[in-house]
Structure 1
Amino acid sequence: MSLSAFIPSVSWLKNYSKDQLKGDLSAGLTVGVMLIPQGMAYAMIAGLPPIYGLYASTLPLIIYALLGTSRQLAVGPVAMVSLLTAAGIGVLAEGGTETYIMLAITLAFLVGVIQFLLGVFRLGFLVNFLSHPVISGFTSAAALIIGLSQLKHLLGVNLDRSHHVHEILIQAVEQIGAINWTTFGIGIAGIALIMGVKKINKSIPGPLLAVLFGILAVWGMGLVDHGVKIVGTVPEGLPSFGLPDFSLATIQSLLPIALAISLVSFMESIAVAKAIQAKHKNYKVVPNQELIALGLANVGGSFFQAYPVTGGFSRTAVNDQAGAKTGMASIISAILIITTLLFLTPLFYYLPKAILASVIMVAVFGLIDVKEAVHLWRADRSDFWMLVITFIATLSLGIEQGIGVGVILSLAMIIFETTRPHIAQLGKVPSTHFYRNRERFEQVEIRKDLLIVRFDAQLYFANLNVFRERIDEWMATKGPDLDALIINAESINTLDSSALHLLEDLLEDLKARNCKLLFTGVKGPVRDALVKGHLVEKIGADNFFMSVQEAVDAHDERKTTEGAGNEYQEFTLQTNV
């Protein structure tokens, strides 16, 4: 196996060109400038001092750029993971304290280890257990919680930390008389500036312009004296090396939220990575390698004071639009953040927290997906209600509980769908050899002496009752006229031992009714299972056919020659196909 399979950056580094550097330089600087205010804002969501958002935007970006398979994915702090971090650690320690910070750093380590192991053992498929409607409902609700959690900074009032929307709104209404209108005005101006610039050109770093506006306004007009809260002193220098807290008690307390963040952050990352890769045909996104890259980015970052990171929607879109060709764009973004940490942090002293709140609100409210809810209402009501239930659960119960409800809903839907698969009674399309579902094609011909059934799923212990109940129901409708049951097995991929027992019982019941059991379109794995279960001997090798029409013809031939004692034309069973 080539080195590029383990270190994907080798494939683009060995052929790196000046044209690629031009695009990467433009994109790297653009995203880096965008990441400075976003990183600081998202750290505040996580309950951390703003500087930790910049720490999380250095080493993790470089590690992912070297090990990730996406060449445009912009890794770093994101709103969703930041809120999950706050939700998980907020019950264990007071926000902003040394204990809280250490827990956040340890959380990054645990998230990284989980993602790395999932990638190594090729378990990326586990995220498929979270359906799109569930993720959409959860994301929309979390976006509301994230956005409204910034009301205290936007309004300049004191609100207790909460992950429940109704509690935040009640507190805000109670504090309406204490609003700092200067702070509110700066925040609204920041929102208007970011949204206005976004409409003009998405590649222009609106959040940075809002930061510059806020700093100049507070510094130039002395707004600190008017009660406008600012970031204050931002520590200079690079993050220092340190070990996370490896104590068993800490790991046990953080493990549930670490698992949730591992899966949710990977889903967010792989979704945007695949969406962007669809525009570029010169590489392929490999989910398990993405898990390894994100995992090592989080593990490496945890040793340099970073909290959990993942790929972000908005920055990745900007990265692609600005011309990113390879992971070098992310490395350039990290270099810009490092330069800021070394030389530019004093410039953020007068940055108003209301501006950071405006950056967060604009970013997260864009995640509220009303269009998806409308689409599902028209296309699939069951998925619509899954979205609504997850949305309401997340708003009313909290972020972690909302994820739990979403996972349970997804698993419940999987179980429901597999235990109640589609099963159809077939009839012949007139003047053809084709057989179709009689419920969908009214013109098909139905014979009283034949029951032709197609089962569209694997046949195993969880759906056997549905299979047998429908067949018994249809057999009862046919009554004494029924001569043969033909099972079209084209859509059956596997049989388990319980299914073999059921077929054996069905065969015995049919014999008691003097009916034949015939199979058509049996696949190789299903044939193998029937042979190993000795059912081929009991059913008879001459009762297996390639098509429904062959089975029907053989049945008719036997009826016409039955008096002469002839049997069906023998069909040689090939168990090795």
Structure 2
Amino acid sequence: MNGLASTSKEMGGENLWRVTSRYFLHPLYLFKNYRRDDLLSDFTAGLTVAIVMLPQAIAYALVAELPPQMGIYAAIIGSIVGGLWGSSENLVTGPTNTSSLLVLSILLPMAGIGSSEYLLAAGLLAIFAGIFQITLGFARLGMLVNFVSDSVIVGFTAGAGVLIMINQFKHLFRLQIPIMDNMFLTLTEVIIRIPQTHLISMILGLTVIILIILIMWFKPLLPAPLIAIGIASVAVWIFHLGQSGVVLIGEIPKGLPPLTKFPPINIETLGELSSGILAVGSIGLVQTIAVAKALTVKSGKRFDSNQEFIGQGLANIACGFFSGYPVFGSFVRSEVNKRSGGKTAFSSVFAGLLMLGAVLLFAPYVAFIPKTALAGVLIVIAYGMIDRKEILRIWRGAKGDLLIMAITFITTLLLPLQFAVLFGIMASFAVYILRTSTPRVFPVVPNKSFEHLEYQPERESCPQMAIFDLHGDLYFGATNYIEDKIIGYMNQHPEQRFLILRMNNVNQCDISGIHALEGIVRRYRKRGGDVILNGTQPNIMALMRGTGFYEYLGEQNFIFDEKQAISYAFHYLFDPVICIYECERRVFQECQNLPKHIVHTEIVPLPMAIPMGAVDLISPLNLWRDLHQDDPPFVIDVREPREYKRGHIPNAALIPLFELIANPEQVPKDRKVIFVCRAGRRSARAAYYFAEKGYQNISVLEGGMQAWETADLLVAVETVMGLEVTNG
């Protein structure tokens, strides 16, 4: 026993080591499998990304109210570490609008803008968010991001874009407005202080916006933000605009990203950061996986979400330790990387290294960048975050998706950002539960060609049988809705005694679903009918066998092919009297060859339901014996002539049911009378009718001619030269 336990433990340890090494030694795999042919493409793409990334990194630091160098360090470290340990070939990790806005929202209540506590908290946030992400990746919980719908991402991103634009107006117009966590208060302050606008700053910022738009319109391949910021910085240097009141970024440290010097961490600080850690960790993964998915959809390549979790976690931890702040996967830079010809993850690594070289060489010139120019860049980028095309698609699509997007968008504007996505996820679950608990349950009938069953509310259904289509899972949350739909239809069609339930689109079922099916079957059997399940999936069939429902319904009532199910019901379950004499609808293909409706004005309506034990039954063998006695009973076959000719009991009188009811004197009162039909339903109705009229000594052949045939007693009738020849 101990040996087995130790072996199991060793195997578990071996698997754990294999998984750990695969995740954390991923760069070795990249180096080992790297092709020299990809070097030039990756370097070129990395250079292009670095050109785009430099102004964005500085601008995003402005969103988070952090020094520009923290954005630069985060971009350098994030792109290198994220590239080496991620799984997507084109994904570029670094500071983004969303991550920066989250940092501002989380840290604003904790510390003053620009204080050492604020800067250190940004680093701590990155480290612990990274640990959280690594834990999820190591536990192989990459599939969790699937629970965040695209509607949440679209709503959150649009809301974040609106917030960023509003927060940048103060830099665009150089207004003295304190940082506030309420969008409406910030917007109100901007409107109130518009008269205090610094004209030169506003003109410079608006010029940057116009330049970016024009370049993107006419030369979309050029790095528009970098060119616009470069022109604005040159204008500042030539015209000495810094002396005219234009606020500049100022000098940034020249050198490698320094290690962050953290003071001793206390539990109180971690408690304050806890909700922010979860928000940054989870939202970062959602955005990153969304970007990675978008890239793989276009390229057709796959990625490992668990490996991506590890890569994002390590990138955040590294950024926290090297004077950065939380980083996410960037859609803009990733798309630039892909369009620039990046072949492998080393294009992201090259982008980080080239940006580091640019900072070491050109750090003094960053001082001339005006904040209003960065605000212009951010406003253009933030406007692009509002995906109008996707919003319009959601608006025209399912109302549930529209509700999810609207809730996420509104909560992003009104609540702290760490709660906005949570509300969106909660709305997604609510819509999902609502959708699955109200599956599509509707009656169908054959189309005019009898090839398909369709929902046609304008057409009348069969008076004996309903066919229902069930689209959705048969689980505890949906059973009441399904039962209500079917029972409501039953109440509207009391004459229908049979049901075909199409299960082709039911993929899951639980014990509550089994109980619901049992309840439906009981109701139809109480009417004297039954239920046929059509197209049941193998996994659900296994559940039905295990729970005893298979035996309860009966093997013959599980028919996979819908046409066979209808044919079985028509030939073995339907009452031919109703089909021939009472129904003019001819719903099914099998009905088309039936004789036309015959009107009998003098007929008294026959009962549809016969009380249990109301008629006497006689078995086929007993009837056969009685027919060979000296005083045989009088057998009346109430079927149609064409049925009678296929085979009948010797010497049985052919009197179709409605002719019999119209002329009751044909039934002798002084003899034992046996009524016969195909399955026993018509003969039972006839016997019950005459018994109610006072006739005595009346019985019904149990099981009808089907039972007579099973007992090998059938007489076949052939016509030869106009003469009837009996064989049997």
TM-score, L = length of structure 1:
0.91
Mark the CA change 1:280 to 1:512 in structure 2 (over 3 Å): closer, same or farther: closer
Match of 1:524 in 2: 538
Residue 129 of structure 2 aligns with an amino acid whose one-letter code is: V
2:500 partner SS: strand
| Pair 122,15 (structure 1): closer, same or farther in 2 beyond 3 Å | closer
Residue 271 of structure 1 aligns with an amino acid whose one-letter code is A
Deviation at 1:18, TM superposition (A): 4.4
* 2:108 equivalent in structure 1: 90
Secondary structure, in 3 states, of the residue corresponding to 1:150?
helix
Q: Structure 1 residue aligned with 2:485, among 470, 488, 506?
A: 470
Q: Which residue of 2 aligns with 1:272?
A: 291
Offset, 1:385: 4.1
Residue 538 (structure 1) aligns with: 552
1:183 aligns with 2:208: no
Corresponding position: 1:482 with 2:501: no
C-alpha displacement at 1:126, in angstroms? 2.8
| Contact persistence 2:80–2:353 (CA under 8 A) | no
Segment of structure 1 superposing worse, 375-384 or 102-111: 375-384
Matched with 1:75 is 93
Aligned-pair CA distance for 1:421:
1.1
TM-superposition CA deviations, 1:479-537 (whole Å, max 9, x none)? 0x222222111111222122222223333333322221221111111111111111112
Alpha-carbon distance between aligned partners in 2 of 1:124 and 1:196, rounded to the nearest angstrom: 41
Letter in 2 for 1:134: V
Match of 1:503 among 517, 525, 542: 517
Contact 2:279 2:419 in 1 (8 A): no
* Residue number among 279, 286, 293 corresponding to 1:260 in the alignment: 279
Residue 339 of structure 2 corresponds to which residue in structure 1?
Answer: 321
Once residues 306 and 313 of structure 1 are traced to their aligned partners in structure 2, the CA distance between those partners, rounded to angstroms, is 20
Percent of aligned positions that are identical: 31
Is the contact made by 1:32 and 1:337 (CA closer than 8 Å) also made in structure 2? yes
Q: What SS class does the counterpart of residue 485 from structure 1 fall into?
A: strand
Larger radius of gyration: 2
Counterpart Cα distance in 2 of 1:253 and 1:387: 29
Matched residues in 1 for 2:141 and 2:74: separation? Answer: 26
Q: Does the alignment pair 1:33 with 2:51?
A: yes
Q: Which runs of 5+ in 1 are unaligned?
A: 568-577
Deviations, residues 23-76 of structure 1 (Å, cap 9, x unaligned): 111111121122112111101211211110011122222222122222111211
- Amino acid aligned to 1:320: K
Partner of 1:494: 508
Partner Cα distance (1:12, 1:239) in 2: 25
Aligned mates of 1:40, 1:218 — CA distance in 2: 17
Deviations along 1:247-289, one digit per CA (max 9) or x if unpaired, are: 33333322222322333333322233233334435x4223232
Aligned partner of 2:266 among 211, 224, 247: 247
- Cα distance in 2, alignment partners of residues 429 and 120 from structure 1: 54
Greater displacement, 395-404 / 256-265: 395-404
Q: After superposition, where does 1:306-317 map in structure 2 within 5 Å?
A: 306-317=324-335
Which secondary structure state, in structure 2, belongs to the residue aligned with residue 461 of structure 1? coil
AA matched with 1:324: G
Tell me the residue number matched to 2:566: 552
Q: Check whether the contact 1:424–1:438 (CA below 8 A) recurs between aligned residues.
A: no
Q: What secondary structure is seen at the aligned counterpart in 2 of 1:228?
A: coil
Give the alignment partner of residue 226 of structure 2, picking from 198, 208, 226: 208
Shift of 1:181: 1.1
Q: 1:201 to 1:10 in 2, by over 3 A?
A: farther
TM-superposed CA distance for 1:11, in Å, is 5.8
> Which of 430, 455, 459 is the matching residue for 2:474?
459
Letter of the structure 2 residue corresponding to residue 156 of structure 1: R
Deviates more, 1:247-256 or 1:301-310: 247-256
Cα distance in 2, alignment partners of residues 464 and 357 from structure 1: 55
Q: What's the offset of the Cα at 1:459? A: 0.7
Q: Is the 8 A contact 2:400 2:431 kept in 1?
A: no
Question: What is the aligned residue count?
Answer: 562
Answer yes or no: is 1:197 the counterpart of 2:211: no
Q: Is the 8 A contact 2:153 2:287 kept in 1?
A: no
Choose 332-341 or 96-105, whichever is displaced more.
332-341
Q: By how many angstroms is 1:243 displaced?
A: 7.0
* Conservation of the 8 A alpha-carbon contact between 1:89 and 1:104: yes
Counterpart code for 1:180:
H
Q: Distance in 1 between matches of 2:358 and 2:391?
A: 41
Q: Which residue of 2 aligns with 1:158?
A: 176
The amino acid of 2:280's aligned partner reads I
Residue 458 of structure 1: how far off its partner (Å): 1.4
Shift of 1:545: 0.9
Distance 1:506 1:206 in 2: 66
Provide the secondary structure at the position in 2 that maps to 1:311: strand
CA offset digits 1:409-461 (Å, max 9, x no partner):
2121111111111112121234435322234xx56x72111122221111111
Say what the alpha-carbon RMSD is for the aligned residues: 2.5
- SS in structure 2 opposite 1:57? helix
Whole-Å separation in 1 of the counterparts to 2:138 and 2:35? 32
CA contact (8 A) 1:146 1:364 kept: yes
Superposition deviation, residue 7 in structure 1: 5.4
Q: Contact (CA 8 Å) 1:9, 1:327: kept in 2 or not?
A: no
Residues 120-154 of structure 1 show CA distances to partners (whole Å, capped at 9, x for unaligned) of: 33333333333323322221121011022111211
CA deviation after TM superposition for structure 1 residue 398, in Å? 4.7
Are the aligned partners of 1:453 and 1:488 in contact in 2 as well (CA < 8 Å)?
Answer: yes
8 Å contact from structure 2 (residues 503, 536) kept in 1: yes
By how many angstroms is 1:473 displaced? 0.7
Match of 2:679 in 1: 562
Question: Is the counterpart of residue 405 in structure 1 residue 423 in structure 2?
Answer: yes
Which sits farther off after the overlay, 451-460 or 160-169? 160-169
Cα deviation 1:527-556 (Å, max 9, x = unaligned): 111111111121112211112222222223
Answer yes or no: is the 8 Å Cα contact 2:129–2:313 preserved in 1.
Answer: yes
> How far apart are residue 475 of structure 1 and its match?
0.9
Greater relative contact order structure (CA < 8 Å, 6+ sep)? 1
SS of match in other structure, 2:531: strand
Taking the aligned partners of 2:85 and 2:420, their CA distance within structure 1 comes to 32
Q: Secondary structure at the match of 1:56?
A: helix
Kindly report structure 1 stretches of 4+ aligned residues shifted beyond 6 Å: 1-6
- Match of residue 349 from structure 1: 367
Residues 330 and 373 of structure 1: CA distance in aligned 2, closer, same or farther (over 3 Å): closer
Question: What's 1:228 paired with?
Answer: 246
SS in 1 for 2:341: coil
Query: Equivalences for 1:360-371 in 2 at 5 Å?
Result: 360-371=378-389
Cα distance, 1:309 vs. partner? Answer: 0.8
Tell me, in whole angstroms, the C-alpha distance in 1 between the residues paired with 2:315 and 2:101: 19
Letter in 1 for 2:430: A
The alpha-carbon deviation at position 223 of structure 1 amounts to: 1.9
Q: Which secondary structure state, in structure 1, belongs to the residue aligned with residue 504 of structure 2?
A: coil
- Partner secondary structure for residue 338 of structure 1: helix
**Alpha carbons of structure 1 residues 556 and 209: separation in structure 2 relative to 1, 3 Å:** closer
Judging changes above 3 Å, is the alpha-carbon distance between structure 1 residues 419 and 22 closer, same or farther for their aligned structure 2 residues?
Answer: same
Q: Secondary structure, in 3 states, of the residue corresponding to 2:382?
A: helix
The match for 1:573 is none
Deviates more, 1:555-564 or 1:414-423: 555-564
Stretch of structure 1 that moved more, 248-257 or 92-101: 248-257
With 127-136 and 494-503 compared, the bigger mean Cα shift is at 127-136
Provide Cα deviations, 1:386-417, integer angstroms capped at 9, x if missing partner.
Answer: 43343333323453443333222212111111
Measure the CA separation in 2 of the matches of 1:556 and 1:562: 12
Secondary structure, in 3 states, of the residue corresponding to 1:69?
coil
